[in-house]
Amino acid sequence: MEPQSYSLAFEELQRIVSEMERGDVGIDELAVNVKRAAELIQYCKNKLKATELDVAEILKQLEEDGDGA
């Protein structure tokens, strides 16, 4: 299940990590939680990369618009 936003993904990831740090995760849940954490990390990395590319494109367009003024 893919998160609806970066914020929700990050919150879920923090919750998983906190549970693991406190030892609240049983052995049976550990593999499931690690897999989910990996999915959330990948989702967040992809979102950050997409945002970085969007910002770079916007800055490039602003720069080009400024050159013609």
- Per-run averaged pLDDT (10 residues), the chain, 69 residues: 91 95 90 96 97 96 81
Task: Give the largest CA-CA distance in the chain.
Answer: 63
Q: What is the pLDDT of residue 65?
A: 87
Q: What is the pLDDT of residue 69?
A: 55
What is the model's pTM? 0.80
> Which residues neighbour 33 within 8 Å (Cβ) at sequence distance 6 or greater?
16, 19, 20, 25
Q: What is the pLDDT of residue 41?
A: 97
The per-residue DSSP string of 12-56 comes to: HHHHHHHHHHHT-S-HHHHHHHHHHHHHHHHHHHHHHHHHHHHHH
